[in-house]
Structure 1
């Protein structure tokens, strides 16, 4: 598997984890110390991985037949660091997410997510 394929697999885990409230997938995609940051209601919102997962679980799963929206617009890789721009949907809203990934002990993990919600 190429590095780009491995990164795409992590992005799929992330998007499917959000869409279907899959805690195990989200924990596998994100580093335990990851930050999730965006503007919510006019104020910056900073979440830990666990707070983010709790918010996803509270929202609940999309119906099982749902095909999650995931458009990976860009992947840049430099050694053991990568940046991904992905457009996805969650809870009826469209987002652009900028994901920073780091290869740790042979596995790519999301260490930071900065998001923008489209109005």
Structure 2
């Protein structure tokens, strides 16, 4: 149960970091070598963690007091590896994210984000 709670905390850190353009939170949630991949504006978008964070910051933060939308649909854990399916919203867009996490030095971190943008 402790792993599940720690994974959920990482997902919350990611969603809130994205909603409020919090660079420190996003850097804590994502591994430095992570990748963010999906279709955006009719093209495959393949970003590094730092490119993703820069795009989030450029878009800007939600107003203070906003409650970010997040629905964790599934968590699957096998030892030190896990996947999470989460639906969230950013900048008026709804995404389904498939997050791959790895437990590194006792802490769960996102190593890959594959997303679908709902139209």
TM over 0.5: yes
Q: Gaps spanning 5+ residues in structure 1: where? A: none
Distance 1:41 1:92 in 2: 14
Distance 1:57 1:74 in 2: 28
CA distance in 1, matches of 2:57, 2:65: 18
Please report the RMSD computed on the Cα atoms of aligned residues, expressed in angstroms.
Answer: 0.8
Aligned to 1:29: 29
Q: Which runs of 5+ in 2 are unaligned?
A: none
**Distance in 2 of aligned mates of 1:50 and 1:13:** 16
Alpha-carbon offset, residue 16 of structure 1: 0.2
Q: Select between 77-86 and 38-47 the one with higher mean Cα deviation.
A: 38-47
TM-score w.r.t. structure 2 length?
0.98
Alignment of 1:1-119 (within 5 A): 2-119=2-119
After TM superposition, the runs of 4+ consecutive aligned structure 1 residues lying more than 6 A away are none
Q: Deviations for 1:12-62, whole angstroms, at most 9, x for unmatched residues?
A: 000000000000000000000000000112221100000000000001100
Supply the distance in 2 between the matched residues of 1:53 and 1:40 (Cα, whole angstroms): 16
